[in-house]
A and B are shown apart, each in its own frame.
Chain A
């Protein structure tokens, strides 16, 4: 309920437009209600004045009807128009809010949650809200008005006939409601089976060569067929049940229709009502039907709306990153001295990752971080960049604690080249300029040349203006990495953070990358997650990590001499050479 309240509050700016549209909808419904009645009057006039039909009076009624339905349609469109804009603007606002929220959430949130989840909040849930808004408000106000209006008019025409209608119609609604509810369960189950089937297909297609080379096709097909058959069965059940509601409504509608025909016919003969009124009444019965079904179905829609708004506002309510220290400290000219003071850190409380760690890195030092896969080498990067903050202790740059600086200012001091080369969709030039919007084209070309990627870019169809993206395949993984190096060069920060892993890169490109890395770290304080022996050996300081903790530090010679984990690592790799 809290989220529903929040949803209503978030609609505040739109409330006048929503109210106006409800008023318009009600107006349109009221006007429409009178149409059958006046049409009935028209017939009555004709029958009463027969055989000298009073055409003037008939025409007058006809004109009233035309005016009524044209104005009603006009009002109807006006309200739809207003709601369309409300829904569109509201969704636009929500999407922008979500994107802005992403920027303010701590990185830890995204390390723990899947991207798909956030994306589906932004697309699916927002869409559900938008459709419910633009559809349901209209539908409910139209339906309710029609329902009440029609009931009133039916009662004025004939009380006994109305009672027949009031008995038959709710029964049909009840029955249909039950059926739909029942079908809904199967639809949910179908969605689940479909999910399973899709993941099976995805998995098997992606692992096709493994299935083939293990002659596993028949077994895989059997596995797939089980789910496929289950899907066919459940789809059939869901469809049949939902299809059942149509004939069910029809039979009840027809029952009411026939009952009214018979009873009405008898009444006309008895002179209790006239024939035009009977015709009008029959029309009202059919108009009475739909709004009830619609009102009944809104409960499902409202449930959906509540679920979606819950997911959206849950996200918007997440606690954000702590605000920057105020007044924030700044460093004018960065020398690049980094010091860890008794740093403790853990991702979750019961598993400390870094325990009471202190070290001093002099300006211009190259620090190599080594350790087996999963040892937590990226933790150091997370702390330096303030993606995460230490649980206790602090880090200083040139003597200034980073937690007393603005996050943005800390990050500006580091250039970062990560293992997963993230490029955004846009031109090569845009990507290179990413860290320094004021860079000139000359700066960009210079950086590209210096990081050995200029010739690759020149070979692209539109050179620096070529569109690239994360998954573009016209450039290789290695070339992407070169572009991210050039990007860091354009930004020209005083310190560097690099991740060396280059397993998918061919040897020539690797040489180019290594060469660029060297240029990038030259004379700068740098932290490198090292995989290459040459980098490790040339490093001024090696941090050895194991199981998430820093277990040793020193340079290559001293660490080898110490005969600890580093020596073990080193020897296992080169034992046979």
Chain B
């Protein structure tokens, strides 16, 4: 929490004004009861009407000043709070975007989103509370205390009684309630989960006729939740009546003690009500502080989560300018590349060497966990190879500037990722200066032109968040068009054709052929059919290359490849493929 407070530094002078105006507000407000006592003691008792009017006027002036200060304070704390949140959020957002997959591997996307939204909001609220309550309450408390002692020194012990009573009651209630809160939160999560399952599993539940079973499960958790929330509420609702008893008791005590002291000094007549007012202020500031202390630990956790991200030191360092002159003709070369996740024992990639040439397609196949996705993530430096070198157009990727390397790479991930905007803005995402015709051409190659034309608005059709208003296959095609429009040196397809039906897949591949003639194409695939024609197939198993060559070659010499093929074809087809392979060799 403290670390985040450094974001308040640019607003230091506003915070100082805040401090001053808060102090002035407190001081002014607290003058009123004393003046009221004066009205009673010096005005009424002495029957001095002029004094009453004069003091009244003074009170009015003070009230206005207090209100003005209070407004100034709220104005500044609102401003500083909003700016603070904005600054932290902007930094966090920029940080997350600057990080690589290797850096954020330990955080889920959902968790990063939560940190940027909910956690920051929580911290902002607490900072605003701190700026108002944390400054106000102690000042109020101390000044009222001083004023109270000044007005009626013989009654100070009443304050001690009051403070003790408030603290004891708050502590007891918190002690009863706080430990149950985490259980309560878990039950709330569970009931949401169950309700969610009832919706997401709708068809399965009905298929198995388990509606009753699901309802019973829900009702049980619901009843647990209700029981606990009744318990919590019962305890929490004690607080109001208890505080009422304490406040009323204190007012009575002040009046009664004041009366007993009248014989000593008749001024207690006015002083006792002023004193009662001060005691109320002291109590209230204690209650405000106790709320802050409930909020602080939670905000602290949130601040910790934010800092955790802000403090990540990116493991990948980029050059400002590319060192050396890359060759004109594209190529990708891996030289004895090893990869291991930081801190992990096992290698994900082990001694990977291959060269992908211009105009050729290099495909990677292997079972889940064989390392094929990691391998292609090394090319745009989303991960950094543990050892070995990766060369693009003859130059080590570590010698490229970030933008220079990225502009050479056209990546199509497994899931079509789109951004809110228009079809056009999505296709031109990597090539801001692309002309209308270039965008259209890219879409044509990606077999997307037809359906885009049919969308309301065509290329200007609105795409909603995450591309929720287009189908999976359409998303996939738009994201392929995006990579094409960029006109990169290297295409990387990470199982990108899975959402397409066979026919579209085939057409798209045919349309790609001419433009990939002066590019390097890397494809990760699950299906043999997708890569049968590749110029080079790299078979991965457990992070190692176990076969390299063309389809028929590999059928002859690579048992892992043969297994994969057999698993995807019928016996008859497999036999046919094997016959062809033998003929080919």
Contact = CB atoms under 8 A, between A and B. Distances in A.
Interface in A219-260: 219-221, 224-225, 228-229, 231-233, 235-236, 239-240, 243-244, 246-248, 250-251, 254-255, 257-259
A417 B83 CA distance: 52
B207 A103 contact: no
Interface in B194-222: 194-211, 213-215, 218-219, 222
Interface of B is mostly: helix
Contacts of A103: 198, 205-206, 211, 214-215
Contacts of A474: none
B248 interface: yes
A499 to B, nearest CB: 11
A469 B82 CA distance: 39
A95 B191 contact: yes
> Which 7 pairs of residues, A with B, have the shortest CB-CB distance?
A243-B74, A214-B430, A239-B78, A534-B570, A506-B368, A254-B63, A573-B502
A372 B504 contact: yes
Interface in B261-285: 262-263, 266, 269, 273
Given A212-B406, A214-B486, A506-B369, A425 B197 contact: yes
Given A208-B97, A282-B273, A373-B471, A232 B207 contact: no
A84 B269 contact: no
A569 B218 CA distance: 46
Given A251-B67, A254-B66, A412-B209, A508 B567 contact: yes
Given A372-B504, A534-B570, 18 more contacts: A43-B269, A53-B259, A72-B244, A119-B199, A197-B117, A201-B116, A204-B93, A210-B413, A221-B93, A231-B86, A251-B63, A254-B66, A265-B52, A269-B47, A387-B203, A504-B526, A510-B568, A572-B507
Nearest to A386: B206
Contacts of B249: 66, 69
Given A102-B198, A533-B573, A107 B486 contact: no
Contacts of A235: 78, 81-82, 85
B252 A65 contact: yes
B241 A73 contact: yes
B224 to A, nearest CB: 10
Interface in A190-218: 194, 197-217
A240 B225 CA distance: 38
B203 A73 contact: no
B161 interface: no
Contacts of B197: 424-425, 470
A406 to B, nearest CB: 9
Contact of B94 (A203, A221, A265, A372): A221
B245 A205 contact: no
A214 B429 contact: yes
Given A207-B417, A568-B503, A95 B368 contact: no
Nearest to A532: B568
Contacts of B269: 43, 47, 275
B117 A201 contact: yes
A507 B74 contact: no
Contacts of A572: 502-503, 506-507
B421 to A, nearest CB: 9
B56 interface: yes
Contact of A258 (B60, B209, B429): B60
A35 B244 CA distance: 12
B113 A385 contact: no
Interface stretch (A85-93, A156-164, A353-361): A85-93
Contacts of B259: 42-43, 46, 53, 58
A51 interface: yes
Contact of A62 (B74, B203, B252, B262): B252
B560 to A, nearest CB: 10
Given A206-B109, A232-B83, A266-B49, A373 B74 contact: no
A506 B472 CA distance: 20
Nearest to B60: A258
A215 B245 CA distance: 65
Given A250-B66, A422-B200, A215 B430 contact: yes
Given A199-B465, A240-B78, A418-B203, A209 B413 contact: yes
A573 B507 CA distance: 9
A259 B63 CA distance: 12
A275 B44 contact: yes
B203 A416 contact: yes
A233 B97 contact: no
B337 interface: no
B255 A42 contact: yes
B380 A213 contact: yes
Contacts of B382: 209, 212
Interface in B292-346: none
Contacts of B75: 240, 243
Nearest to A416: B207
B262 A69 contact: no
A325 interface: no
Contact of A236 (B71, B82, B89): B82
A96 interface: yes
Interface stretch (B2-10, B138-146, B231-239, B353-361): B231-239
A123 B222 CA distance: 12
B81 to A, nearest CB: 7
A569 B82 contact: no
Contacts of A568: 503
A576 B533 contact: yes
A441 interface: no
B195 to A, nearest CB: 5
A81 interface: yes
Interface in A54-79: 55, 58-59, 62, 65-66, 69-70, 72-74, 76-77
B505 to A, nearest CB: 8
6 contacts: A65-B248, A99-B219, A235-B82, A251-B67, A266-B49, A572-B507
B445 interface: no
A416 B112 contact: no
B463 to A, nearest CB: 10
Contacts of A528: none
A116 B223 CA distance: 23
Contacts of B60: 254-255, 258
A476 interface: yes
A466 interface: no
B567 A510 contact: yes
A101 to B, nearest CB: 10
Contacts of A239: 74, 77-78, 81-82, 128
A491 interface: yes
A73 B244 contact: yes
A110 B101 CA distance: 36
Contacts of A95: 191, 195, 218, 222
B499 A80 contact: no
A265 B39 contact: yes
B433 interface: no
B85 A102 contact: no
A372 B193 CA distance: 34
A261 interface: yes
Contacts of A254: 32, 59-60, 63, 66-67
B195 A279 contact: no
A56 to B, nearest CB: 12
Nearest to A503: B498
B507 A247 contact: no
A81 B234 contact: yes
Contact of B215 (A99, A509, A575): A99
Given A80-B237, A208-B97, A510-B567, A422 B504 contact: no
Contacts of B39: 261-262, 265
A491 B210 CA distance: 12
A478 B256 CA distance: 79
A66 B256 CA distance: 12
A409 to B, nearest CB: 9
Nearest to B198: A102
A469 B209 CA distance: 20
